[in-house]
Structure 1
Amino acid sequence: MRRLPILRLSVILVLTMLLSMTSFSGSLFAVTPLTEVDQDHPYNRSVKEAEQEKNINPQLDIKLTSDKNANNYPIVLVHGLGGFKDLYGIPYWGGLTNIPRDLRNKGYEVYVAEIGPVSSNWDRAAELYAQIKGGTVDYGEAHAAEHGHLRFGRTYDGLYPEWGEVNPKTGKVNKVHLIGHSLGGPTSRALIQLLEEGHPAEVSTTSATKLSPLFQGKKEWVHSAVSLSSPHDGSTATYYIDNLIPHIQEILAVFAALQGNHSTVEFDFQLDHWGLKREAGESFDSYVNRVKKSNIWKTKDTAKWDARPIGAQELNEWIQGSSSVYYFSLSTEQTYRSIFTGYHKPELFMNPIFYDGSRFMGRHRSSTDGIHTGSDWWENDGVVNTNSMDGPTLHSDEQIVTYDGSAERGKWNHLGTLNSVDHLDVIGIGVRDMRWLFRDMAEMLTSLPD
């Protein structure tokens, strides 16, 4: 398929160079003086060398499964941990290249979800359901009681209210394609599981008249699910990052800098069901401090837990692949193996906010929570171990196959690995234009037969 020329995003290049001096686990705008930067730091190079990144052309040929336009189901984009729809006018998907807008201009029906950035996959799945279908978020009576938060959340009009209804023109159920980045992949899996199988604890706890349709099962409403750089087996970065909030603040800094300094931070943690709604006139610092001190972090009902290998393993135990869904996965990496130590180190152009975490993942060995992580976990994209991205394997019997143009339902069709691409590069946050990737994926998804 045709490849688009690399877009010259000089503003992001300058930002990336500035962020090379920023501590991965520090505060929002904590800057380390140049004299204190480790000489081995990959961004302690010239701007001229950094320009070379824009000439890296990831190789990936996504073949069509059948004829074009075999279906016209909408595409729903599901962000990952710390994500959002847009911030300061900059979209999460594509940044200045605005991938959703580009796909719409190409004729695809595209919706962008905005769910809890630090919430568990269960809670995010409940929010995703309400956002697409419309209505009030129902986290489940049993689930809410178990974890100590409110059962109901926000109310939405619905991105695609006709979802799940029979289309009078085709006589078929209206389905969607889900594309999830990072934690958005496991969140999509959780949604499919609940839609199709329901949940026994919710059925036994809640009366039939009050049970959310999400937990009733028998809803084959998802045609395909694509995961991009997703931690299906968790990420060892969680052993390095004890507190998610500073990590998210670093990401916010990227978007804030793209639009200049902002005195007002509009980021929403969407934790209303935990009693953590940002009050009118409340400063962002005050809001963040309340989130940090919340009892939410003492539970397993968070993205922090789900992103750990043990959390991912627990998720894999109750989520089973659906025989009605086409699953796809795409891996990324931006490390190299040291010829001296065998450890994996960040490549020259990895986003500097990921450098320290990547270096940790590239050499970490442990047997934590009964899960052994060794050298096969070292390759990474700065946030997620590459071997975790092709599909679930920890306590999972789901099959992973290489996609060759013939997609298999109920199996993980691995599209391949994008080399020299970090965790934000893949969604177009960086100096490279990734619209070609999403165009190719959209064309492939709409070629999938019913």
Structure 2
Amino acid sequence: MDSHDPDGLVNLRKLADHFALNLPEDKKVPIVLVPGFAGWGTPLFGTINYWGGIENMPRLLMDKGYTVIITPVGPISSNWERACELYRQLTCGRFNRFVPETQDVEEHHDLDISYGKYFESDPENGPRQSRTSGRKRAILFSPSPQEYADWKWSETSKAHFICHSQGGVTVRYLISLMLRGAGDIHPEYFDSGGRDTWAISVITLGTPHKGTTIIDVVENFLLNSASQAIKLVARLFATASFSRPEQRVYDLQLDHWGICRDGNETFQEMRSRFESTSGPVSKWYNSNINGFYDNSIKGVGDLNRKAAPASPNIYYFTLSFHSTVPFPSYWPPWTINAIRSFPVPLVSFIREVLYSIPLVNIGVWIVDSIVNGILNTAGWAIISRLISIHDLVRWVTQEVLNRLLYETDYKVSLPPPGRYLPRNDVMPLILPVVYAMGGQDLSPEQKRILGPNLGDWYQNDGVVNTESMCGPHGSVVKDIAAFPISDINSDSARGIYWHLGVNDRMDHLDEIGIIIQEDTAHSMNEMYFNLATIVTRLPPRRRQPSHL
């Protein structure tokens, strides 16, 4: 099988075609979809799916005979919290079922979640409770739902995982807990290890395996004004969390932090409590037990000390994306016309300056000849060699625009130009982020965490740096071309992150189908169908019985 194409989606399609022709399929093993940062379960406003946007990707997979489980874990929670929630949702034996006849999803908020003793090491910075209740069940899409009425994830009821963004890091943590156990930290869920074989495969899409610099971009934009950021976040949290969980349009699932309505308090009272420097939002934001920290380079670096990079019993595949083009190294052809349209014509400005110098105005014709020559072809060729368009944009940004913003008391700072610009089809929502991440330098501490062979940390998909997507630090990452296609059940196929390649036509939202163009939607649909084709043909690893 030839899988040397630079486009990861092409390699994915070739691998899926080969699997379809040569390997038997088992559609009875569920495919668990784990959302990334800010993800959700039930469609927003009843129409916008996390997986598919206005399309319903789980439904499309179900129509092809696959069983799919959507896990509505905390959208901005830490990976520990999300791993606990994911485990509970998959082992409780209850689902919210998708009903094809009505296109609706059943709504049951009856799950209790335990976070163990994880927060006891630093109770001052942890949530006010280590348990929460009234959480939503996972959602089941299946052509035969009766067969999964009491399905529980186990050694005999295995699962595949397809993860977007932070979902891949969450599942990595979960698999590590299943592999090693958590001891006294969480004996209820992770009392012992050796259960990693419950998972057959893990596929990650645009996952920040080594962290992302988007956190730095946001902090730089806000001039590191934590108080301003917390106040803004507090107002958003109050709006989202005032209602009961089952009535919320978008559930943050942070009630155990006190980020919910207390008793009969009014919205104004709740917002005031949230905005307080000693309130629950400030405590959560500054605790480093949240999705912002856990997706940062430092946060993932901390995870590396707690979690195994991979299980030797699981197949791993990764797919990378970017939505950038190089910043132009040349001046565009419209530059001279743009200069001529400047409010004060450059030629007139230079002429007036020269005329103000004593004796210079004697040779008026000489001055005019020099000035008029500046903007002709030969003159412009000289100027364009002295200064690049990148330097000019940087100067305008830092010395003009940011100074103006500062003097007018705006607490923001525009990012300077970097190595990349957003591709012309990037969603407007994340276009500024693609631009900013394209110029976000790594700090000395981040370079130390990442170690040598940094690679290109400017290329990105609008949320995650492309360099971070191939696999976690300390893992074995190999090109998909080296995958042992003829010996798929061997140890050499498992425990390795097989990198399918980089796709340069999808941004972070395209990867899940949120507000995308028609041609990109076709590519997204094909991507998930190919992923399903592959995982349902991967053989499970059986845990060998102990002979103690």
Q: State the TM bucket, normalised to the shorter chain.
A: 0.7 to 0.9
Which stretches in structure 1 are left out of the alignment for 5+ residues?
Answer: 1-55, 167-172, 204-210, 251-263
Residue from 502, 510, 526 that aligns with 1:436: 526
Q: 1:411 to 1:365 in 2, by over 3 A?
A: same
**Is 1:182–1:227's contact at 8 Å kept on the other side of the alignment?**
yes
Structure 2 partner of 1:178: 161
C-alpha displacement at 1:111, in angstroms? 0.9
Q: 1:275 to 1:367 in 2, by over 3 A?
A: same
Letter in 2 for 1:353: L
Question: Whole-Å Cα distance in 2 between the matches of residues 100 and 91 of structure 1?
Answer: 9
**Is 1:71–1:448's contact at 8 Å kept on the other side of the alignment?**
no
Structure 2 partner of 1:114: 72
Structure 2 partner of 1:26: none
Question: Whole-Å Cα distance in 1 between the matches of residues 235 and 530 of structure 2?
Answer: 32
Letter in 1 for 2:433: G
Percent of aligned pairs with the same residue? 31
**Is 1:75–1:110's contact at 8 Å kept on the other side of the alignment?**
yes
Question: Whole-Å Cα distance in 1 between the matches of residues 65 and 258 of structure 2?
Answer: 41
Question: Whole-Å Cα distance in 1 between the matches of residues 234 and 441 of structure 2?
Answer: 25
Aligned counterparts, 1:340-379, within 5 A: 340=329, 341=390, 343-371=419-447, 376-379=456-459
Q: 1:79 to 1:288 in 2, by over 3 A?
A: farther
Q: 1:381 to 1:370 in 2, by over 3 A?
A: closer
- Give the secondary structure class of the aligned counterpart of 1:356: helix
Letter in 2 for 1:120: S
Which stretches in structure 2 are left out of the alignment for 5+ residues?
Answer: 1-6, 93-110, 140-147, 220-228, 237-246, 330-389, 391-417, 541-548
Aligned counterparts, 1:55-204, within 5 A: 59-62=10-13, 63-64=15-16, 65=19, 67-70=23-26, 72-85=28-41, 86-89=43-46, 90-134=48-92, 136-146=112-122, 147-149=125-127, 150-154=129-133, 161-165=150-154, 173-202=156-185
**Is 1:335–1:379's contact at 8 Å kept on the other side of the alignment?**
yes
Residue from 210, 221, 224 that aligns with 1:233: 210
Structure 2 partner of 1:326: 315
Letter in 1 for 2:130: R
**Is 2:8–2:502's contact at 8 Å kept on the other side of the alignment?**
no
Question: Whole-Å Cα distance in 1 between the matches of residues 50 and 234 of structure 2?
Answer: 13
- Give the secondary structure class of the aligned counterpart of 2:69: strand
Q: 1:228 to 1:148 in 2, by over 3 A?
A: same
Q: 1:105 to 1:152 in 2, by over 3 A?
A: same
C-alpha displacement at 1:179, in angstroms? 1.0
C-alpha displacement at 1:318, in angstroms? 2.1
- Deviation by residue 1:311-340 (Cα, 9 ceiling, x = unmatched): 111112222110111111111111011232
Structure 2 partner of 1:420: 505
Structure 1 partner of 2:480: 403
C-alpha displacement at 1:416, in angstroms? 1.6
- Deviation by residue 1:67-99 (Cα, 9 ceiling, x = unmatched): 131563101111111110121111110011110
Structure 2 partner of 1:221: 198
**Is 1:94–1:427's contact at 8 Å kept on the other side of the alignment?**
yes
- Give the secondary structure class of the aligned counterpart of 1:440: helix
> CA-atom RMSD, angstroms?
3.1
**Is 2:34–2:167's contact at 8 Å kept on the other side of the alignment?**
yes
Higher helix share: 2
Greater CA radius of gyration, 1 or 2? 2
| Structure 1 position 314 matched with structure 2 position 302 | yes
By relative contact order (CA 8 Å, sep 6+), the higher-ranking structure is 1
**Is 2:230–2:285's contact at 8 Å kept on the other side of the alignment?**
no
C-alpha displacement at 1:369, in angstroms? 3.0
Q: 1:377 to 1:57 in 2, by over 3 A?
A: closer
- Deviation by residue 1:85-127 (Cα, 9 ceiling, x = unmatched): 1211111100111100000011000011111111001110001
Residue from 267, 280, 283 that aligns with 1:295: 283
Question: Whole-Å Cα distance in 1 between the matches of residues 324 and 302 of structure 2?
Answer: 28
- Give the secondary structure class of the aligned counterpart of 2:430: helix
Question: Whole-Å Cα distance in 2 between the matches of residues 245 and 325 of structure 1?
Answer: 43
Q: 1:144 to 1:118 in 2, by over 3 A?
A: farther
Question: Whole-Å Cα distance in 1 between the matches of residues 234 and 24 of structure 2?
Answer: 39
Letter in 1 for 2:35: H
Letter in 2 for 1:323: P
**Is 1:278–1:287's contact at 8 Å kept on the other side of the alignment?**
no
Residue from 435, 453, 469 that aligns with 1:389: 469
C-alpha displacement at 1:287, in angstroms? 6.4
TM-score (norm 1): 0.74
Q: 1:57 to 1:130 in 2, by over 3 A?
A: closer
Question: Whole-Å Cα distance in 2 between the matches of residues 441 and 222 of structure 1?
Answer: 16
Q: 1:196 to 1:58 in 2, by over 3 A?
A: closer
C-alpha displacement at 1:154, in angstroms? 2.6
- Give the secondary structure class of the aligned counterpart of 1:177: strand
Q: 1:224 to 1:284 in 2, by over 3 A?
A: farther
- Deviation by residue 1:123-174 (Cα, 9 ceiling, x = unmatched): 10001111111163121114355352222123566666533446xxxxxx21
**Is 1:357–1:383's contact at 8 Å kept on the other side of the alignment?**
yes
**Is 1:306–1:312's contact at 8 Å kept on the other side of the alignment?**
yes
**Is 1:93–1:427's contact at 8 Å kept on the other side of the alignment?**
yes
